[in-house]
Amino acid sequence: MLDLTTKRICVTGGGGFLGSFVAGRLRERGCHQVFIPRKRDYDLTTADGVARLMTDARPEVLFHLAAVVGGIGANRDNPGRFFYENAIMGIQLIEAARRAGVEKTIIAGSICSYPKFAPVPFQEDELWNGYPEETNAPYGIAKKALLVQCQGYREQYGMDAIFLMPVNLYGPRDNFDLHTSHVIPALIRKCLEAQASGGRELRVWGDGSPTREFLYVEDAAEGLIAGAERYSGGEPINLGSGVEISIRDLVSLIARLCGFTGAIVWETEKPNGQPRRRLDVTRAGRLMGWRAVTGFEDGLRRTIDWYRSHAGL
Place 181 in a pLDDT band, splitting at 50, 70 and 90: confident
Q: What is the CATH number of the domain that holds 138?
A: 3.40.50.720
Q: Coil, strand, or helix at residue 179?
A: coil
In whole angstroms, what is the distance from residue 263 CA to residue 279 CA? 32
User: What is the 8-class DSSP label of residue 22?
Assistant: H
**Is 185 part of any domain?**
no
**Is 141 part of any domain?**
yes
**Is 190 part of any domain?**
no
Strand partners, 162: 106
- Per mean pLDDT, which range of 130-134, 235-239, 290-294 is the poorest? 130-134
**Is 306 part of any domain?**
no
* Contact in structure between 71 and 136 (CB atoms under 8 Å): no
Alpha-carbon dihedral 218, 108, 30, 291, rounded to 10 degrees: 50
Q: Per residue in 227-266, pLDDT tens?
A: 999 999 999 999 999 889 999 999 999 999 999 999 999 9
At residue 70, does pLDDT exceed 80? no
Q: Coil, strand, or helix at residue 15?
A: coil
Q: Per residue in 31-55, pLDDT tens?
A: 999 999 999 999 999 999 999 999 9
Domain count, the chain: 1
- Other Cβ atoms closer than 10 A to 13: 23
User: Which among 84, 114, 131, 139 is annotated as catalytic?
Assistant: 139
* Contact in structure between 191 and 307 (CB atoms under 8 Å): no
| 107 phi/psi in degrees, rounded to 5 | -105, 125
At residue 197, does pLDDT exceed 90? no
At residue 75, does pLDDT exceed 80? no
pTM listed for this prediction = 0.94
Of residues 274 and 183, more confidence is placed in: 183
In whole angstroms, what is the distance from residue 186 CA to residue 176 CA? 6
**Is 183 part of any domain?**
no
Share of the chain above pLDDT 70, in %: 100
**Is 255 part of any domain?**
no
* Contact in structure between 9 and 34 (CB atoms under 8 Å): yes
**Is 189 part of any domain?**
no
Place 309 in a pLDDT band, splitting at 50, 70 and 90: very high
Q: Are strands 211-216 and 244-246 parallel, antiparallel or unpaired?
A: antiparallel
* Contact in structure between 149 and 142 (CB atoms under 8 Å): no
Range of the domain at 45: 4-170+214-242+277-293
User: Is 139 one of the annotated active-site residues of the chain?
Assistant: yes
**Is 14 part of any domain?**
yes
